[in-house]
């Protein structure tokens, strides 16, 4: 016969399980934002600790200043990017309306000289230039697709800005209560992993810093420098192209996919001087910084397979939206490093241990 105390324990465990499941269901929409807030807080903790000492231990003030700084670095550029995207969509729509109203100009002479497809391209262009109905029919599918893409992109950026805003708000509380939360985490890990808990937490922490500082930090620096160079050279959409540089910086030889076409556009537009500037800036500054900054920011022990970072970006965006660009590579890197550490540890044991 089951005793009353055992029934009470089973009922208590069942109730706790239900509460845990219910809490996860409630927090599920905010999980990505909270995870990114934890990563941000941990990565910037040395700055917070210095600020806290400078302010004489005033925790709330230090946490508020750090929160505002994180918001300025993360949320503000994304909000400006959304406004820039909307502005460029309006410009493209105006160009499309002009083309539909006035028609295409005659094809330039160089079109006929394009290898293989030149004569066909010239004939097709000339037919559209003399037939506005055909031009409208040819542009309509692309205009509709561009409009839908812009709407989806704007909505995604809006959700990303909201998630980042929530992350920034959560950062204030994580900064304020970080010491006690870290103590509770170490205590919980001691119960789960025993004597290896401290070492595993150090491995996970070093991996997070390696990804945030080395991978995401370098990508952010390349994006900022690319956007600055594009703006100086007068390339339209410099901020948007800078964000694209950030995403492409996470794959090998990604930034040239942005600054090389921009350089070609400058040469084609007749701005030879600015084209030379953009080529030199892109090669030596934007792409060159990857070989200087990344080895400095990321330790040799924290180097990660580039495929893992790339899959983390793509999978993170699919799973978490815009914030997944940051969150995906970090989570994959921590999981990969801990798995590698566990398998290495298991393989080093002698048979029979």
Asked if residue 162 and residue 53 are part of one domain, the reply reads yes
In a domain, 3, yes or no: no
**pLDDT: is 261 or 83 the higher one?**
261
Q: DSSP string spanning 185-220? A: HHHHHHHHHGGGHHHHHHHHHHHHHIIIIIIIHHHH
Is 4 contained in some domain? no
- Tell me which range, 8-22, 141-155, 185-199, is most confidently predicted by mean pLDDT: 8-22
Domain shared by 236 and 121, yes or no: no
Answer whether residue 103 is part of any domain. Answer: yes
Q: Over pLDDT 90: what percentage of the chain?
A: 6
**Has this prediction a pTM greater than 0.75?**
no
Instruction: Provide the pLDDT confidence category of residue 229 given band limits of 50, 70 and 90.
Output: very high
Q: Domain containing 78: what range? A: 31-176
Residue at 12 is within a domain: no
Helices (H), the chain: 4-27, 31-43, 45-54, 59-102, 118-129, 132-176, 178-193, 197-209, 217-233, 238-248, 256-268, 272-280, 289-297, 306-320, 324-348
pLDDT of residue 277: 93
Neighbours of 304 (CB within 10 A): 19
Q: Please, what's the b/e burial string for 125-141 (b: 16 or more CB within 10 A of its CB; e: otherwise)?
A: beebeeeeeebbeebee
More confident residue, 257 or 126: 257
Domain shared by 134 and 205, yes or no: no
| Residue 300 in this model has a pLDDT that exceeds 50 | no
Residues 243 and 297 grouped into a single domain: yes
Instruction: Tell me: do 167 and 199 sit in the same domain.
Output: no
| Predicted pLDDT at 353 | 44
13-47 burial code (b ≥16 CB/10 A, e <16)? eeeeeeeeeeeeeeeeeeebbebbbbbbbbbbbee
- 139-190 tens-digit pLDDT: 666 666 666 666 666 666 667 677 778 888 888 988 888 777 777 766 666 6
Task: Output the six-digit token pair for 295.
Answer: 């080895």
> Quick one: 99 exposed, middle or buried, by C-beta within 10 A (0-12, 13-18, 19+)?
middle
Same domain, 85 and 112: yes
Do the beta carbons of residue 301 and residue 313 sit within 8 Å? no
Q: Is residue 24 part of a domain?
A: no
Is 17 within a domain? no
Is 25 inside a domain boundary?
no
In 3-state terms, what secondary structure has residue 34?
helix
Do 154 and 302 fall into the same domain? no
At which residue do the structure tokens 């105006």 appear?
Answer: 94
52-56, 108-112, 180-184, 258-262, range with the lowest pLDDT: 108-112
Closest CA to 320 of 26, 1, 18, 35: 35
Task: Give backbone dihedrals phi and psi of 236, rounded to 5 degrees, phi first.
Answer: -65, 150
In this structure, the answer to whether residues 222 and 351 fall within a common structural domain is: yes
Last residue of a domain, one of 146, 176, 206: 176
Q: Are residues 39 and 135 in the same domain?
A: yes
Q: Is residue 21 part of a domain?
A: no
Q: Does residue 298 register a pLDDT over 60?
A: no
pLDDT band (50, 70, 90) for residue 352: very low
Residues 132 and 249 in one domain: no
Helix crossing, 178-193 with 197-209: angle to 10°? 130
Q: Are residues 302 and 242 in the same domain?
A: yes
């Amino acid at each position: 016969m089951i005793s009353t105390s055992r029934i009470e324990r089973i009922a208590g465990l069942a109730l706790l399980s239900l509460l845990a499941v219910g809490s996860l269901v409630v927090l599920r929409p905010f999980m990505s934002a909270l995870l990114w807030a934890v990563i941000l807080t941990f990565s910037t903790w040395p700055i917070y600790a210095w600020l806290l000492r400078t302010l004489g231990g005033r925790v709330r003030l230090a946490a508020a200043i750090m929160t505002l700084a994180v918001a300025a670095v993360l949320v503000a550029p994304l909000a400006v990017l959304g406004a820039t995207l909307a502005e460029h969509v309006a410009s493209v729509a105006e160009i499309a309306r002009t083309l539909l109203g006035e028609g295409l100009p005659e094809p330039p002479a160089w079109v006929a000289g394009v290898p293989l497809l030149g004569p066909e391209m010239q004939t097709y262009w000339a037919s559209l230039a003399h037939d506005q109905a055909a031009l409208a029919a040819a542009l309509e599918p692309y205009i509709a697709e561009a409009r839908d893409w812009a709407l989806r992109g704007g909505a995604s950026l809006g959700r990303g800005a909201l998630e980042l805003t929530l992350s920034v708000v959560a950062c204030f509380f994580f900064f304020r209560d970080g010491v006690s939360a870290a103590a509770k985490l170490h205590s919980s890990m001691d119960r789960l992993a025993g004597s290896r808990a401290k070492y595993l937490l150090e491995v996970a922490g070093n991996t997070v810093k390696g990804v945030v500082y080395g991978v995401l930090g370098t990508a952010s620096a390349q994006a900022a420098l690319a956007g600055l160079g594009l703006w100086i050279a007068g390339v339209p959409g410099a901020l948007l192209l800078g964000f694209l540089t950030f995403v492409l910086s996470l794959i090998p030889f990604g930034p040239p996919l942005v600054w090389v076409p921009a350089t070609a556009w400058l040469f084609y537009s007749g701005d030879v001087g600015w084209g030379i500037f953009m080529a030199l800036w892109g090669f030596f500054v934007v792409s060159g910084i990857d070989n200087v900054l990344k080895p400095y920011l990321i330790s040799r022990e924290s180097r990660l397979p580039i495929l893992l970072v790339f899959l983390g970006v793509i999978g993170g965006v699919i799973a978490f939206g815009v914030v997944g660009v940051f969150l995906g590579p970090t989570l994959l890197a921590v999981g990969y490093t801990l798995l590698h550490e566990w398998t290495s540890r298991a393989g080093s044991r002698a048979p029979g241990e």
